[in-house]
Amino acid sequence: MDFPWLTFIILFPIAAALLVPVIPDQDGKTLRWYALVVGLIDFVVIIWSFYSQYDLTNPDLQMVERYAWLPQIQLYWSVGSMVYPCPW
């Protein structure tokens, strides 16, 4: 699977927050439900992506994504995930 999971996990709540000003709401309940649903969707995507693609025995950087934004000035979007050793 080559879907950019980490980028989606980071940008989905930001994109969802851009819709907040246009959601009609009188008493705040609609926005609270909207925020809850967005948070739960993001949580489910986090659980699914790490469960299906993450190897806890591999200490290297995993799920690495790198995209060139402005390669002329070496500006890149780079994200990855890593297992940290347990201190105890």
One digit per residue, pLDDT tens: the chain, 88 residues? 588 999 999 999 999 999 999 999 888 899 999 999 999 999 999 999 999 988 888 888 888 999 999 989 989 999 988 877 666 5
| Rounded distance between C-alpha atoms, residue 81 and residue 60, angstroms | 9
CB 46 within 8 A of CB 20: no
Q: Minimal CA–CA distance to 85: which of 62, 65, 63, 57?
A: 57
Looking at residue 68, its amino acid is A
pTM score, whole prediction: 0.81
